[in-house]
């Protein structure tokens, strides 16, 4: 075996050497993890992360979002891909406090998303990753403008010190706000629009479907403008933060919470700091766990904390997490989107009652569409999570698993190559993504179960529709046959019987139609 | 919409609040990312991460690995899953320097794996995640024993301060080494062996296949012992660290390298610090890039660094990365494993020549097995990367994509439900995993291409084998028919001709067999 060349410094020792790296260095080295695999994918992820930050910001203050996205070539004469692009994303959101801004954009694992509430962002990572990727491929600082009050407007030029994980302020200015609030992010990065345009356009299309209260403008490098205009001014209520549910916590969390608390008694402590735990429930639970409700939380030994936490997991009388803090899409938005994009022959929507996994509430919505504009055979899956379209790694998603492995399609007499679209939306205070790039959702058993139940219900409805349609078709065929042969038979009978007029066979036909009409009404009344 | 209950402190303000979290806090909050999704999966990931650390350590010093893994119930009377388990992993590796040990095991993003060399570990995260998961589910410290010299043996009990990302030494002792080197890790965690036993056993089985020079003992909670004994004492050479290849670097890396260097000229700088760049190549490249080879690296402006890096990406005369530092499995190990586990009717192995993506060398090996003990119809895929079996999220892996989407199976006249196993092994100084849990590999175009070429070659061979077999079967059938009818015909002719003996038809049959034998030899000579 030939050795590797180690440069001119000779063989390096194989003795283990250890080093520490900063979180931004970690994600810099392993950017595949966050969806920045190659220039095409990085362009997609950048657009997506910045747009999602804008939408989250607007929704937090119930501002009807106006989001403007522009991708332009850095050097208009450069033709070969990948090449440098300028990405600009502008919103009318609440803006970012200027003293927080450098770290919010220039420090990995610093953010406002480490909370229990429904939001698109979750890891506090995406925006900074986009800026970091821009920096390492173009070496240009990011430009950020923001105004929280419309009076003053702050301009920042930032770089990231990746090894130290901290922002470097290259330039800072203050100007007139001109009454405009919101944030503008502009960065330069290496991208490949040729290979990402389909996904980026699909991303905007699907986002517009589930955020119909936003105006989104997208200008692609060619100058072509895509407008996605709002079709409603009705917004979901702003997401609310919840306390953690007792079923979802662990020993580490309990220790931290006890450390931060100054509550006198365990009963008070539990009722103040956990979701769905009132004073009565707290006392009942502590009796169940065999702990004196009047003890001070800080007096618990490590062993007692462990026992209390496992008793919390076992105790079945806590109310389930309240899903009131979630905003699912709702049937209206789903139906409007489906009709507009798919124009199906048939569709049905099922919203499951709220459920919970590990103490996090979630709601599953499933829509099934059949035929119409969906021309291709086979199942097309559209996935959404907290109003984010998920476009990559479909086959690892829990929805894919349910559709392809858990459902017995034959039972519903629906061939798997029927022209079908399944639309899935999951809303939760914590979506169990399996990747930092938010490509797909883990197969938590509770989520799997809800998806399965919802899908089965839609399939039963489709199955009923199809069998009705086929019996209607059968009926139609029968009538067509009658129409063809009855006159001949009638004439023939007339001649055989030597009558001058054939019998009135038309009565027979209209009776068939009447029967059919009656059946339809009965079916509708049934459903 | 009903509001969420916020406890008794009233509504929280929706004003954005920002916070910073430590890397260990990040992975604590998002443990799904690292393969610690639920008690079953966490048990699997713990075993895997600790075993891989042991194997990596042994291989680094060419020690024939002796790895001992035991999972026992923490409370033998407890029956319901999930429950607490004690995991013990012991090796005869080089040990860990005692002064490094607390941070190596108790600090996230601290490790010895941030290097360009082939190893199982990559993120410097897995072992610490296992310890962290143990701590948050059991609140027990991890116990680590190690000896680097066999003279002294160190015992540590550690906890992790997750918020600060640093180890807490609970206890430390020094004892006699008794001539034994190596490391023992023992931790207590919540797990579910019932739901993970299949995957864990499969993991050991597949590991033993590709690490046939290791003795591995696994004792499961029931007390059942699985021995995987070494079948060879031939080990791959220890992995070697390489310098980065010019095609794989970015501006950030170049700036860091310049900052750390004290080289006088750019020509020297490049030839000392990059893979496959000698002084001559460096000068030629710098001329191509229009930069004076005698300039000091530190004199380059930011703009010049960016230009130099993009010239490096474009310059086509650098030699490709040297794969001499990689250790693929090799045909012997692959063949032995396949025969032992699958006992196929037919198999073939293709090793592609080394290739590179983004400056990282890699080698693809593909084996295809058909029939025999592989009873089920359809394609069974076995994936390995740097000698790690990958058992989860197969459908997102680049190999799955190639097999199911890029290959036209009809062209090879092989039905997709034939009893086939495909074994894929990728070796690289940097496997492009898409998840921290190392479930699957990204579809880098270069890797996709090599996989496709390798698979096609194996399919051509299988196709040739199958058509040969079917013509052999045809021949056999023909002979069988002759065997049945020739005596009758012969007898009939005898009687018709009134002869006393039938003609010697046996000569005809043996001629057919002879032809067949001849054909076989010719085919073998061809291939």
- A52 closest CA partner among A193, A215, A207: A207
* DSSP symbols for A316-356: --SPPPPGGG-----HHHHHHHHHHHH--SEEEEEEPPPEE
**Interface check B242 vs A, CB under 8 A:** yes
Neighbours of A7 (CB within 10 A): 18
H helix or E strand, kind and range, residue A362: strand A360-370
How high is the mean pLDDT of chain B?
87
A252·B37 Cβ contact <8 A: no
Q: Which residue has the higher pLDDT, A364 or B35?
A: A364
For B125, the closest chain A residue by CA position comes to A26
Pairing type for strands A419-428 and A388-390 reads unpaired
Res. B516: pLDDT tops 80: no
From chain B, pick out residues whose CB is under 8 angstroms from the CB of A139: 251, 302-303, 305-306
Over range B256-260, report the average pLDDT: 91
Neighbours of A170 (CB within 10 A): 13
Neighbours of A172 (CB within 10 A): 13
B23·A109 Cβ contact <8 A: yes
Radius of gyration of chain B (CA): 30
For B434, the closest chain A residue by CA position comes to A33
Nearest to B4 among A111, A123, A240 (CB): A240
3-state class of B322 per DSSP?
coil
H helix or E strand, kind and range, residue A20: strand A19-20
3-state class of A425 per DSSP?
strand
**Interface check A275 vs B, CB under 8 A:** yes
Provide the strand spans (E) within B271-400. 346-351, 355-357, 360-370, 378-385, 388-390
Neighbouring-strand partners of residue B196: none
Neighbours of B439 (CB within 10 A): 20
Distance, CA of B205 to chain centre: 14
**SS3 assignment for B87-118:** EEEECCCCCCCCCCHHHHHHCCCEECCCCCCC
Distance from CA of B281 to the nearest CA of A (A): 13
B19·A114 Cβ contact <8 A: yes
3-state class of B280 per DSSP?
helix
Distance from CA of B278 to the nearest CA of A (A): 8
A441 token code pair:
């959702």
**Contact predicate B92/B68, CB 8 Å:** no
Nearest to B1 among A28, A111, A237 (CB): A237
Which residue has 């090793």 as its token pair? B351
User: How many residues in chain A?
Assistant: 527
Which 8-state DSSP code applies to residue A309? H
Rounded to whole angstroms, the Cα distance separating B346 from A438 reads 42
Rounded to whole angstroms, the Cα distance separating A88 from A364 reads 34
From chain A, pick out residues whose CB is under 8 angstroms from the CB of B440: 396
Nearest to A252 among B30, B112, B136 (CB): B136
**Residue-level pLDDT at B522:** 55
Contacting residues for A348 by C-beta, under 8 A, at least 6 apart? A367, A368, A458, A461, A462
Q: At what angle do helices A193-210 and A39-60 cross, to 10 degrees?
A: 20
For A21, the closest chain B residue by CA position comes to B109
**Residue-level pLDDT at A527:** 42
Rounded to whole angstroms, the Cα distance separating A216 from A203 reads 12
ipTM above 0.85, yes or no: no
Q: Which residue has the higher pLDDT, B292 or A19?
A: B292
B435·A433 Cβ contact <8 A: no
- Give start and end residues of each alpha helix (H) in A222-315: 251-260, 266-273, 279-289, 302-314
**Residue-level pLDDT at A470:** 81
**Interface check B302 vs A, CB under 8 A:** yes
- B127 closest CA partner among B226, B45, B228: B45
Nearest to A32 among B241, B253, B432 (CB): B432
**Interface check A100 vs B, CB under 8 A:** yes
- Give start and end residues of each alpha helix (H) in B185-329: 193-210, 251-260, 266-273, 279-289, 302-314
**Residue-level pLDDT at B525:** 45
* DSSP symbols for A363-399: EEEEEEEESTT--SSEEEEEEEETTEEE-S-GGGSHH
**SS3 assignment for B113-163:** CCCCCCCCCCCCCHHHHHHHHHHHHHCCCEEEEEECCCCEEEEEEEEEECC
**Interface check A39 vs B, CB under 8 A:** no
Which residue has 């025969």 as its token pair? B339
B224 token code pair:
């059942």
Distance from CA of A432 to the nearest CA of B (A): 7
A23·B124 Cβ contact <8 A: no
**Residue-level pLDDT at B489:** 73
Question: For chains A and B, what is the number of CB pairs under 8 angstroms?
Answer: 230
**Residue-level pLDDT at A481:** 74
**Interface check B94 vs A, CB under 8 A:** yes
Over range B484-501, report the average pLDDT: 74
Distance from CA of B19 to the nearest CA of A (A): 6
Distance from CA of A469 to the nearest CA of B (A): 34
A17·B305 Cβ contact <8 A: no
**Residue-level pLDDT at B5:** 35
Rounded to whole angstroms, the Cα distance separating B174 from B106 reads 19
Nearest to B273 among A7, A139, A275 (CB): A7
B461 — alpha (psi -120 to 50), left (phi > 0) or beta?
A: alpha
Mean pLDDT by 10 residues, chain A (527 residues): 34 58 88 86 96 94 96 92 95 94 91 79 86 92 96 96 94 94 96 95 93 95 95 86 88 90 94 94 96 95 89 90 87 87 91 88 95 81 95 90 90 87 94 89 89 96 90 79 74 75 67 57 48
Neighbours of B480 (CB within 10 A): 10
3-state class of B227 per DSSP?
strand
**Residue-level pLDDT at A297:** 96
Neighbours of B29 (CB within 10 A): 18
**Contact predicate A385/A431, CB 8 Å:** yes
Interface test with A, best of B2, B7, B254 (most A CBs within 10 A): B7
Distance from CA of B240 to the nearest CA of A (A): 7
Contacting residues for A522 by C-beta, under 8 A, at least 6 apart? none
B135·A19 Cβ contact <8 A: no
Interface test with B, best of A1, A2, A4, A427 (most B CBs within 10 A): A4
* Cis peptide bond N-terminal to A358, omega within 30: no
Distance from CA of A173 to the nearest CA of B (A): 23
pLDDT in tens, B386-409: 999 999 888 889 999 999 988 988
Res. B513: pLDDT tops 70: no
Which residue has 């999602």 as its token pair? A52
**Residue-level pLDDT at B359:** 81
Rounded to whole angstroms, the Cα distance separating A214 from A56 reads 12
A305·B139 Cβ contact <8 A: yes
Is the entire prediction scored with pTM above 0.80?
Answer: yes
Which 8-state DSSP code applies to residue B176? E
How far the first Cα of chain B sits from its last, in Å, is 74
B12 token code pair:
């929280």
Distance from CA of A456 to the nearest CA of B (A): 24
Distance from CA of A207 to the nearest CA of B (A): 24
Pairing type for strands B83-90 and B142-147 reads unpaired
**Interface check B378 vs A, CB under 8 A:** no
pLDDT grade for B11, boundaries at 50, 70 and 90: very low
pLDDT in tens, B100-114: 999 999 998 887 777
H helix or E strand, kind and range, residue A479: helix A445-496
Nearest to A240 among B3, B33, B237 (CB): B3
**Residue-level pLDDT at A514:** 57
């Amino acid at each position: 075996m030939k050795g590797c060349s180690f440069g001119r410094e000779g063989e390096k020792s194989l003795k283990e050497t250890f080093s520490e790296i900063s979180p931004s260095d970690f994600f810099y080295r392993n950017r595949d993890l966050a969806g920045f695999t190659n220039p095409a994918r990085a362009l997609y992820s950048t657009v997506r992360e910045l747009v999602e930050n804008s939408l989250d910001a607007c929704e937090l203050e119930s501002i009807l979002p106006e989001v403007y996205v522009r991708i332009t070539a850095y050097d208009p004469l450069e033709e070969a891909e990948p090449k440098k692009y300028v990405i600009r994303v502008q919103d009318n959101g609440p803006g970012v406090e200027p003293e927080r801004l450098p770290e919010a954009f220039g420090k990995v694992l610093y953010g406002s998303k480490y909370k229990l509430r429904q939001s698109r962002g979750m890891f506090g990572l995406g925006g900074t990753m986009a800026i970091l990727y821009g920096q390492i491929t173009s070496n240009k600082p990011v430009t950020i403008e923001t105004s929280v009050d419309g009076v003053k407007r702050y301009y920042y030029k930032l770089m990231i010190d990746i090894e130290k994980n901290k922002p470097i302020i290259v330039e800072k200015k203050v100007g007139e706000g001109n009454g405009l609030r919101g944030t503008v992010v502009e960065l330069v990065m290496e991208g490949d629009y040729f290979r990402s345009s389909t996904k980026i356009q699909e991303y905007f299309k699907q986002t517009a479907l589930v955020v119909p209260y936003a105006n989104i403008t997208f200008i692609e490098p060619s100058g072509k403008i895509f407008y996605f205009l709002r079709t409603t001014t009705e917004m979901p209520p702003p997401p609310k933060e919840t306390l953690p549910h007792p079923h979802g916590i662990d020993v580490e969390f309990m220790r931290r919470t006890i450390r931060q608390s100054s509550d006198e008694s365990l009963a008070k402590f539990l009722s103040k700091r956990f979701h769905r735990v009132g004073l009565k429930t707290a006392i009942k639970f502590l009796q169940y766990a065999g702990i004196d409700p009047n003890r001070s939380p800080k007096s618990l030994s490590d062993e007692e904390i462990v026992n209390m936490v496992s008793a919390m997991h076992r105790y079945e009388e806590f109310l389930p997490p309240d899903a009131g803090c979630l905003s699912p899409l709702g049937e209206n938005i789903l139906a409007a989107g489906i009709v507009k994009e798919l124009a199906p022959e048939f569709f049905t929507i099922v919203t499951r009652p709220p459920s919970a996994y590990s103490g996090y509430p979630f709601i599953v919505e499933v829509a099934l569409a059949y035929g119409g504009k969906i021309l291709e055979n086979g199942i097309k899956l559209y996935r959404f999570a907290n109003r984010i379209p998920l476009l990559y790694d479909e086959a690892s998603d829990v929805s894919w698993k349910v559709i392809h492995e858990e459902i017995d399609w034959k039972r519903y007499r629906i061939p798997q190559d029927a022209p079908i679209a399944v639309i899935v939306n999951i809303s939760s205070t914590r979506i169990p993504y399996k990747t930092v790039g938010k490509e797909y959702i883990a197969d938590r058993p509770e989520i799997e179960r809800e998806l399965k139940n919802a899908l089965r219900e839609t399939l039963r409805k489709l199955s009923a529709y199809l069998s009705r349609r086929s019996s209607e078709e059968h009926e139609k065929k029968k009538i067509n046959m009658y129409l063809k042969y009855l006159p001949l038979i009638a004439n023939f009978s007339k001649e055989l019987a030597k009558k001058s007029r054939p019998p009135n066979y038309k009565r027979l036909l209209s009776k068939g139609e009447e029967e059919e009409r009656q059946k339809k009404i009965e079916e509708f009344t049934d459903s």
